[in-house]
Amino acid sequence: MHRGQKNLIWDKLSTLFLLTLLTPGSLLAASLTVAGTGDSQALLRSIAKAYSTAHPSEKIVIPDSIGSRGGIRALTLGKVPMARIARPLKPNEAKPGLNQHLFARSPVVIVLNPSVSGLSGLSSEQVVGIFSGRITRWEDVGGPQGKIYVVEREAGDSSRSVLKKQMPDFKDFKPVGKVFFNTQQAADAIASHANTIGFLPLSEAIQHNLSIMAVDGVQPNEASVQSGAYAYVTPFYLISQGRPEGLALRFLDYIYSDAAQELIREASVIPVARQGPGPAGATE
């Protein structure tokens, strides 16, 4: 091959390489990583899959959980462009320019193993009595005869934090049952042990065919959550550094679309209508 031909081939390869680097979205797939809590992980993976199916040149990455705090830290250090959290930003996390976007609410429900018959609801006072150890028998709350077995979660668990914040007198009791550090394990334990009670996200309770209790006569459903009558909910937020742009904005737009809102409902989570982005430190 002549030197001139070699130079011509090299020039063409160099040009193609530069085009690959400089042409966004057409030759290289755009990518957005959203790091943080495990609470919204499965839901966001489902939404991300649907988005990427509709936009093959764009990829949304939902990595394994590093927790809400870990997601915020990764965002503020510039390691990811967007974070996912299962609570509002705390005052000490509020940084200038951070915006939080509430997109769904996940009901936290009191659940029983189906072996506990005759109960469709509990009062908040009864729930506190059971988890504090003051009530130890099912017949004392209108159920069948038998001992109550409690499945607990660790202090700091998002579902436990919701109950502690919203239910009067639900405190960091000394555990009266086994403490689980994983939502899936807690759900499995309630499902596989008779006479057991615990609390879980609604989606996990439905997946495990557990008995879901009304609390103070209020059922956990979309209407009661949207009206505020059922207050035991975990808020799902996306956090951006400044106002989102590019792929981050397009994915956020998709989350509030009718298609994604239906996916949220199918996951037994309650979608939230789009609002203006909340500044760092703002509550729901």
For the chain, the structural domain boundaries read 3-106+235-279, 107-227
pLDDT band at 172 (very low <50, low <70, confident <90, very high): confident
Q: What is the pLDDT of residues 228-275, one digit of tens each?
A: 999 999 999 999 999 999 999 999 999 999 999 999 999 999 999 988
Chain segment 70-80, per-residue pLDDT in tens:
999 999 999 99
Global pTM value = 0.80
- Selecting from 3.40.50.300, 1.20.1740.10, 3.40.190.10, 3.40.50.1860, what CATH number does the domain 107-227 have? 3.40.190.10
Query: Does 183 score more than 80 pLDDT?
Result: yes
pLDDT at 59 over 50: yes
- Rounded CA gap, 232 and 118, in Å? 23
- Tell me whether domains 3-106+235-279 and 107-227 share a fold: yes
The DSSP output letter for 93 is G
Identity of the amino acid at 70: G
The pLDDT of residue 1 is 54
Give the integer Cα–Cα distance in Å for 40 and 158.
Answer: 11
Considering the domain delimited by 3-106+235-279, tell me its CATH architecture. Answer: 3-Layer(aba) Sandwich (3.40)
Average pLDDT over residues 54-59: 96
> Which one is predicted more confidently, 171 or 5?
171
CA distance 82 to 99: 10
- Pair 106, 237: CB distance under 8 Å: no
Residue 26 pLDDT exceeds 90: no
pLDDT confidence band for 283 (50 / 70 / 90): very low
